[in-house]
Homo-oligomer: A and B are copies of this chain.
Amino acid sequence: MPVHPPRPTGPALNALRAFEAAARLGGFSKAAEELCVTSGAVAQQVKGLEDWAGADLFERQPQGVVLNDLGRQVLPLAERAFDQLAATVQEIRAVASPNRLHIAALPAVAQLWLSPRLPAIRRALPDLVISVTAMEQAPNLGRDPFDLTLFLGDPEDGQVVATDEILPVCAPDVAGRVMQVADLAQLPCLSDSSWSQDWAVWLQARAGAETPQLRGPVFSLYALAVQEAVNGAGVLMGHQCLIEQDLKAGRLVSPFPQAVPTGKALVLTARKPVRPPLARLIAALSESRL
Contact = CB atoms under 8 A, between A and B. Distances in A.
User: In the assembly, how many copies of this chain are there?
Assistant: 2
A7 B4 CA distance: 41
B53 A93 contact: yes
Contacts of A7: 36, 133, 135, 139, 144
Contacts of A271: none
A237 to B, nearest CB: 14
Contacts of A74: 88, 91-92, 95
B88 A78 contact: yes
Contact of A73 (B6, B53, B91, B219): B91
Q: Which of A16, A131, A194 has the most B CB atoms < 10 Å from its CB?
A: A16
A3 B77 contact: no
Interface residues of A, number: 62
A93 B13 CA distance: 15
A290 to B, nearest CB: 22
Contacts of A44: none
B108 A92 contact: no
A96 B70 contact: yes
A267 to B, nearest CB: 18
Contacts of A16: 85, 88-89
Given A3-B135, A53-B97, A81-B81, 4 more contacts: A4-B136, A11-B92, A16-B89, A53-B93
